[in-house]
Structure 1
Amino acid sequence: MSLGSMMCTRCDEGFEPHERIVNSNGQLWHTQCFVCAQCFRQFQDGIFYEFEGRKYCEKDFHILFAPCCNKCNDFVIGRVIKAMAANWHPDCFTCERCSIPLADSGFIRNQNRALCHDCNRKEKEVGLGKHVCNKCHGVIDDAPLRFRGEVY
């Protein structure tokens, strides 16, 4: 294929012999035509994201398509945990009592809170009138030791 027969994907114009050409997945572009589909700016450092055949700069791609984490409010890029009617980073989706990550271990929804299985069991025990140790968070089967209003 000769240079004279090649056309820019965006403007459908030909290329000059001295001109730089951008080739993206077999599509050819003038450098000034290879721009974000949202803001029409050239891609910084040549970095772009593609979605449904359109190319976006990193900023616009995040704003348009990346979900926000329910805990830290940052964009979630990569693995997204969808739980409790929200999106989360895997490290941000944690048990509301003990803060262990729940992404790979599963969770139980208890009074609209995400709890690990162990903390959910402890909450059930408290509901049955048992006490939970303030230090180790274990269930106290016998009479608890009380110190400054806390049970141990």
Structure 2
Amino acid sequence: MAPPKVCASCKQNIEGGPAIIALDKVYHPEHFTCHECKAPITGSKFQEKDNEPYCDKCYADKFLTRCKACGDPITDKVVTAMGADWHEDHFVCGGCKAKLIGTKFMEIENAPYCQKCYTEKYADKCKACGKPIVTQAVVALDAKWHQLCFKCSKCGKPIMKDQSFRTEGGKPQCVKC
């Protein structure tokens, strides 16, 4: 005759009735409960941490990383960017809301932006043409310029970054003019 089964929770014998075997222990069905909320775990699905059973909700609330955008636990793929974790669908541009996974993005005020939105909203604008500067800028005369927009006000030729220039009336002039 087999020795009696002892419930891991109440320490009483399990005699003739149903028993649950989980985590190398035996339980009365009503005693197999979530370690956190103490609700009975029904069905065959539960989570385990440190050899203790948890219902899905308690496990997610207690142990899973949370999405920076919505605050909910992340149960699937985790996107880690900008020092935070995100749901895949929540790591989106702060402007157009396009998904940013696998793309280049810029961080502005703790929000990610796609290159297009960053350029339109935040990139420095050229003093001459007013368009965003997405490459190296020429910094001169208390302003930023596209390399080819920084021109001599007399002859119209670009003043290259290694050339000297002077100003007349606050406008750049190449040394030749």
Aligned counterpart, 1:131: 131
Q: Which runs of 5+ in 1 are unaligned?
A: 133-141, 143-152
Contact 1:125 1:131 in 2 (8 A): no
Distance 1:55 1:90 in 2: 28
Do the aligned partners of residues 22 and 128 (structure 1) sit closer, same or farther apart at CA in structure 2, a change above 3 Å counting? Answer: same
Residues 54 and 25 (structure 1), Cα distance of their counterparts in 2 relative to 1, 3 Å cut: closer
Deviation at 1:44, TM superposition (A): 4.2
Task: Kindly indicate whether the alpha-carbon contact (under 8 Å) linking 1:107 and 1:115 is maintained by their aligned counterparts in 2.
Answer: yes
**Which residue pairs with 1:12 in the alignment?**
11
For the pair shown, which has the larger CA radius of gyration, 1 or 2?
2
* Residues 81 and 88 in structure 1, CA contact (< 8 A), matched pair in contact too: yes
Q: Which amino acid aligns with 2:131?
A: H
**Aligned equivalents of 1:70, 1:84: Cα separation in 2:** 10
Helix, strand or coil at the partner of 1:91: helix
Aligned residue in 1 for 2:25: 27
Residue ranges of structure 2 left out of the alignment (5+ in a row): 133-148, 150-177
User: What TM-score results when the alignment is normalised by the length of structure 2?
Assistant: 0.59
Q: 1:58-97 counterparts in 2 under 5 A?
A: 58-97=56-95
CA displacement at 1:26 relative to structure 2: 3.5
8 Å contact kept, 1:69–1:88: yes
Contact 2:125/2:131 (8 A) holds in 1: no
The corresponding residue for 1:50 is 48
**Identical aligned pairs, as a percentage?**
26
Contact 1:68 1:88 in 2 (8 A): yes
CA–CA separation in structure 2 for the residues paired with 1:112 and 1:15: 56
When structure 1 is superposed on structure 2, of 84-93 and 38-47 the one drifting more is 38-47
Higher RCO (CA < 8 A, seq sep 6+): 1
Distance in 1, matches of 2:42 and 2:104, equals 40
Question: CA 1:116/1:52 → structure 2, altered by over 3 Å: closer, same or farther?
Answer: farther
Contact 1:95 1:101 in 2 (8 A): yes
* Number of matched pairs: 131
1:127 Cα deviation (Å)? 0.7
Following superposition, the deviation at residue 21 of structure 1 comes to: 0.7
